[in-house]
Amino acid sequence: MERDRQWHVDTKPLTATKVQFGKRVFDIIASSILLLCCIPLFIVLSVSIAFASGFPVFFTQTRTGLNNKQFTIYKFRTMRCDKRKMDRHLYDWDEGVPDDFTFKSGYDSRVTSIGKVLRKYSLDELPQLFNVLIGDMSIVGPRPEIPEITAYYNLHQRKRLIVKPGMTGYAQVNGRSEIQHGKKIEHDLYYIENQSILFDMKVILSTVKLVLKGYGSY
């Protein structure tokens, strides 16, 4: 409870309201177009997942979003159904999330064969376009963490929650799944302080290049 009462952090206003307005307009247009264009791909991936490892096709999870508000994130399921619910995240940190903390590892026996392909090329993230369309997320922004981690954020780390989380972000194009938490915070706060539509375009282009190479994602 004490953690929740101390969440609010004094931060200077974002550079300009018009940047946020422009991002939201872009998010709505981009997510709408991409969702329509991806319908055939969604069908193929859904059938492939169901055929390879059964139902459900989609994976949902609670994440922390703008101003510490929780929301449900959507992804294609990449792990076996029988073990997915056994996954628990228990942490015990006293002074914020350690800088050397890395959430993912290079190998996870629970990931299915098709799940490995989906993760390598970030295809499992496509359903998050729904999150962008309804306003829980943005195309570009800090990646949303699970509440079990954000509950331990210190004052400095909480600053990354003053903007909407994104499908991709500046930290991700500088490391994807390999990046340590300290560096991720550093990159996210740099993005927040310097965000612009042009910056977003550069992040998106860098993301496309990394995804096509399948680099740094598990």
2 occurs within a structural domain: no
pLDDT at 110: 85
Residue 157 has pLDDT above 90, yes or no: yes
26 occurs within a structural domain: yes
Tokens of 23: 């991002």
139 occurs within a structural domain: yes
Q: 81, 54 in Cβ contact below 8 A?
A: yes
Q: How many CB atoms lie under 10 A from the CB of residue 50?
A: 13
Q: 93, 151 in Cβ contact below 8 A?
A: no
pLDDT at 81: 77
36 occurs within a structural domain: yes
Q: How many domains does the chain have?
A: 1
218 occurs within a structural domain: no
Q: What angle do CA 64, 139, 104 make, to 5 degrees?
A: 55
Residue 1 has pLDDT above 60, yes or no: no
C-alpha 44: how far from its chain's center? 23
Residue 13 has pLDDT above 50, yes or no: no
Residue 211 has pLDDT above 90, yes or no: no
pLDDT at 2: 46
Number of H helices, E strands in the chain: 10, 4
Residues forming beta bridges with residue 72, ordered by sequence position = 62
81 occurs within a structural domain: yes
Q: In angstroms, how far apart are the furthest CA atoms of the chain?
A: 50
**What's the sign of the alpha-carbon dihedral 203, 154, 73, 14?**
negative
Q: Is 29 helix (H, G, I), strand (E, B) or coil?
A: helix
What amino acid occupies position 15? T
Tokens of 31: 């997510």
Q: What is the DSSP letter of 61?
A: E
Rg of the chain on CA atoms, in Å? 17
41 occurs within a structural domain: yes
The domain in which residue 207 lies consists of: 14-213
179 occurs within a structural domain: yes
Tens of pLDDT, residue by residue over 45-100, are: 999 999 988 899 999 999 999 999 999 999 999 998 764 454 556 788 888 898 88
Can you give the pTM of this predicted structure? 0.85
pLDDT at 87: 53
- The band of 106, judged by pLDDT with boundaries at 50, 70 and 90, is low
